[in-house]
Amino acid sequence: MSKYDIIVLGSGPGGYVTAIRASQLGFKTAVIEKESLGGVCLNWGCIPTKALLKSAQVFEYLKHAEDYGLSVKEADKDFDAVVKRSRGVAEGMSNGVKFLMKKNKIDVIEGFGKLKPGKKVDVDGKEYSADHIIIATGARSRELPSLPQDGKKVIGYREAMTLKEQPKKMIVVGSGAIGVEFAYFYNAMGTDVTIVEFLPNVVPVEDEDVSKQLERSFKKSGIKIMTSSEVTKVDTSGTGVKATVKTKKGEEVLEADIILSAVGIKSNIEKIGLEDVGIAVDRDKILVNDYYQTNIPGYYAIGDVTPGQALAHVASAEGILCVEKIAGQHVEALDYGNIPGCTYASPEIASVGLTEKQAKEKGYDIKVGKFPFSASGKASASGAKDGFVKVIFDAKYGEWLGCHMIGAGVTDMIAEAVLGRKLETTGHEVLKAVHPHPTMSEAVMEAVADAYGEVIHL
């Protein structure tokens, strides 16, 4: 039996980052992976979807070249080539993780790992043991009883990335990050897209102003949106698919080539031996303390299998914190109230902290500032005037309660708010920090100025 200090089960952005940090700290480390290094994020999620979205963005630039004083004749796309480029990017990233494993002297054990009592893992009949076992098995596309996935006409995100032919009509069920990113991609490629959302607003976790702006931008792009609506039944017996949608006005039947189910994720906790070891689970999540220890000593869990936000950067942060705690370092528990969320459709969405509604519900007396990109010189020059930056401050102490952005490139701008909140900065400090001109990021300063009645360019 091979013996390690730390074994990590799963090699997604939680697992492989955890393994690397463990190795840096001097632990003899192994990673167990049943499929491809990098997990869903690198192979079927974060990275290849961004490659698809970039192709869509470039195609849109070509179609609107005249807006920039340029002439492009007969701009067209090769859907198969777009998909192949995305897969190539994913493969390159996965190979990069292989290199990092080798560089950091981490053993990669291929196969399906099952936890066993006594700090052991069985991988396809061979046993490995460790002082510490970290579960990082991630999640997959969740299926609804009314929307069973067949992988052909009713698909999840994995199939949506590798379709052989571009559908003429698509229904996207769910308008979280996955749903709206694919809605944007396929619409930009020329597919007729309809979004069906159960809740009253698209991207329902976002500030309501952001939701309304995205709906306006999407409708302008030709995407149909049905909110407060539910798919109750699907019929795949014909050449395409028919979806029965329950709305406030009654039932409606939509026809399409394909339905993309983007109604959330399901933790990968089945058949990995949790019951055999006695690890506590509640509502599809492994229960852990602030340092990711389960109820059984020597077993830990991070990422999508735990109750925190199901985001790649959260899994990475949790894994690093977990092994640093194991190493005896002084670490602070992760602040889940200061986790940025990003959606990479066009316009992009980025947010951190409380929404305006949440701040009011918590009883804060607030100052709210908003600066539209239509008033930004850089946005006008770039031809990207949709969207805004919105900031929320506590009126009494100046605490930065929340920041919400929608527009071009905002996923690269949100880190300012995350860092500012981490350092407990005040509105006046942000206002007096000189921002470069002309940039999209100066909209943050302008939004803060608006909150304090000092806005210049609005």
Written as six digits, the tokens of 54 are 């970039």
Under 8 Å between Cβ of 80 and 163: no
94 carries a ligand binding annotation: no
Binding site annotation covers 177?
yes
User: Which pLDDT does position 43 carry in this prediction?
Assistant: 84
* 113 is known to lie in a ligand binding site: yes
pLDDT at 45: 83
Residue 325 known to bind ligand: no
pLDDT for residue 395 is more than 90: yes
The answer to whether 454 is annotated as binding is no
**Cβ neighbours of residue 141 closer than 8 Å, sequence gap 6 or more:** 149, 156, 157, 158, 261, 262, 265, 266
Any known ligand binding at 119? no
252 assigned ligand-binding residue: no
Please count the other Cβ atoms lying within 10 Å of the Cβ belonging to residue 445: 25
Any binding-site annotation on 69? no
d(CA 368, CA 379) in angstroms, rounded, equals 22
Q: Give the mean pLDDT of the chain.
A: 95
How far apart (Å, rounded) are the C-alpha atoms in residues 209 and 388? Answer: 9
* 256 marked ligand binding residue: no
Q: List domains and CATH numbers for the chain.
A: 2-141+266-336 (3.50.50.60), 154-263 (3.50.50.60), 347-451 (3.30.390.30)
To the question of pTM greater than 0.85 for the whole model, the response is yes
Confidence of residue 458 (pLDDT cuts 50, 70, 90): confident
Q: What is the pLDDT of residue 346?
A: 94
Please indicate if the annotation marks 6 as binding a ligand: no
Q: Give the model confidence (pLDDT) of 248-287 as tens digits.
A: 999 999 999 999 999 989 999 999 999 999 999 999 999 9
Averaged pLDDT, 430-449: 95
> Do residues 39 and 15 touch, judged by C-beta distance below 8 A?
yes
For the cut 80, the answer to whether the pLDDT of residue 1 exceeds it is: no
174 is in an annotated binding site: yes
- Residues 6 or more apart whose CB falls under 8 angstroms from that of 342 comprise 177, 348, 349, 350, 411, 414
Is 197 annotated as ligand-binding?
Answer: yes
Residue 116 assigned ligand-binding role: no
Contacts of 291 by beta carbon, 8 Å cutoff, 6+ apart: 321, 322, 325, 331, 333
The model's confidence at residue 457, banded by pLDDT at 50, 70 and 90, is: confident
Catalytic residues: 437
pLDDT of 191 higher than 90: yes
d(Cα 289, Cα 285) in Å, to the nearest integer? Answer: 13
Mean pLDDT of 87-98: 92
Average of pLDDT values for 170-193?
Answer: 96
Among 134-138, 150-154, 323-327, the least confident range: 150-154
> Does 44 have pLDDT greater than 90?
no
- pLDDT bracket for residue 409 (50, 70, 90): very high
